[in-house]
Amino acid sequence: MSTVSPDKRRKMESALNQLKKHTVVVADTGDFNAIDEYKPQDATTNPSLILAAAKMPAYQHLVDQAIKYGIAKGGTEDEQVANTMDKLFVSFGLEILKKVPGRVSTEVDARLSFDKDEMVAKALKLIGLYGEAGIGKERVLIKLSSTWEGIQAGKELEEKHGVHCNMTLLFSFAQAVACAEAKVTLISPFVGRILDWYKENTDRKSYEPHEDPGVVSVTKIFNYYKKFGYGTVVMGASFRNTGEVKALAGCDLLTISPGLLAELSEDHSAVAAVLSVDKAMACDLQKVHLDEKDFRWQHNEDRMAVEKLSDGIRKFAADAVKLETMIREKMLNVKNGQ
């Protein structure tokens, strides 16, 4: 029989392990070698994370394999590059799925963020590539920008194709409401990027975790979803510090960078659930419905969300272009026998 008191045991236990009792922990990285020790349930990637990982020597074999695949598929140079990109994103996803028991999130090209049909087509292509590798669609979340068009693409993928979607670059309450009404599987409201905006655009430069505008935003969304019984789950994302993470303990999922996972594993302070269904049910929130014009107006009223959504799309698109440029150069070398 153990003689260690519950308080002492908690002091010995890492903040990460305590967090896992309240929340599903997800690793936010393309560097799948970095996640083993933290034992996350799922993992998320994005174009910026894949670009960073694709530059690492450890992953050059994946880049080389994707290029061979792209060349073998034939077509124009642009088509070969596009096929290589899709293959590379899926290749990283496949490696990640060897390390996590749950799901991987793979992102649709941000340059398609305003074209519903193209987003659906790209998503189905990615799901097809996973299928060819023996991975069923239940282990994949397709990430889509939370534009109106992206949300409608998510709705179509879920309803017509049984493809699970992760709506990303989510900054406004209007985006969250529209995603819930579209019945997508999961949303990724950004915490740290909201904090960044407030620090850059207001006189206030520091916040306690519970006052952090990103934490406040995700808390409101979580409470709204739970109070009104939506099936869509909330995965807080884009963290700047462990205080933000701990202030959202109890959220359905939290996707966390390897750097912050390391900090949480070394931290032995107490972590208690902050968010809960019971607290959500007691919240004073009114249910709202948004059609397209209401969504566009309400989202437009939130200057922070408008600026961060467009900025996020531009940054992901820019990193996709950088990755394409890298692939073109390597592809040329392969074709020239170098």
User: What pLDDT is stored for residue 338 in this prediction?
Assistant: 67
Q: What is the pLDDT of residue 218?
A: 98
> Residue 218: how many CA atoms within 13 Å on its side-chain side?
38
> Is 11 an active-site residue?
no
Determine the pLDDT at residue 6.
58
Tens digit of each residue's pLDDT (9 = 90 or more) over 273-313: 999 999 999 999 999 999 999 999 999 999 999 999 999 99
Query: Residue 316: what are its φ and ψ, rounded to 5°?
Result: -65, -40
Residue 124 structure tokens: 């189905």
- Whether residue 39 contacts residue 100, with contact meaning beta carbons closer than 8 Å, is answered with no
Question: CA 49, CA 298: separation in Å to the nearest integer?
Answer: 31
- Cβ burial 203-233 (10 Å sphere, 16+ → b, else e): eeeebebeebbbbebbbbbbbbbbbeebebb
C-alpha torsion angle, residues 299, 142, 124, 309 (rounded to 10): 30
pLDDT (0 to 100) of residue 1: 46
Cα(215)–Cα(191) distance, rounded to whole angstroms? 6
Cα gap 248→112, rounded to integer Å: 31
Six token digits for residue 338: 């170098």
Q: Do residues 259 and 274 touch, judged by C-beta distance below 8 A?
A: no
State the pTM of this model. Answer: 0.95
Do 104 and 95 meet the contact criterion of CB atoms below 8 Å apart? no
Burial (Cβ within 10 Å: 0-12, 13-18, ≥19) of residue 191: buried
Contact residues for 36 (Cβ-Cβ < 8 A; gap 6+):
99
Residue ranges in the chain modelled with pLDDT below 50: 1-2
Q: What angle do CA 251, 290, 244 make, to 5 degrees?
A: 25
Rounded to 5 degrees, φ, ψ at 302 are: -100, 95
Instruction: Confirm or reject CATH 3.40.50.300 for domain 13-329, answering yes or no.
Output: no
| 184 SS3 class | coil
Question: How does pLDDT run across 127-170, given as a tens digit for each residue?
Answer: 999 999 999 999 999 999 999 999 999 999 999 999 999 999 99
Q: Which phi and psi (to 5°) does residue 16 adopt? A: -65, -45
pLDDT of residue 335: 87
What pLDDT does residue 132 have? 98
DSSP string covering 23-81: SEEEEE-S-GGGSGGG--SEEE--HHHHHHHHTSGGGHHHHHHHHHHHHHH-S-HHHHH
- What ranges make up the beta strands (E) of 237-300? 253-256
With 0-12 / 13-18 / 19 or more C-beta atoms within 10 angstroms meaning exposed / middle / buried, residue 126 is buried
- Please give the pLDDT value at position 98: 96
pLDDT of residue 7: 61
Q: Choose the catalytic residue: 20, 87, 137, 143.
A: 143
What is the spatial distance between Cα 292 and Cα 155, in angstroms, rounded to a whole number?
Answer: 14
Residue 285 confidence (pLDDT): 97
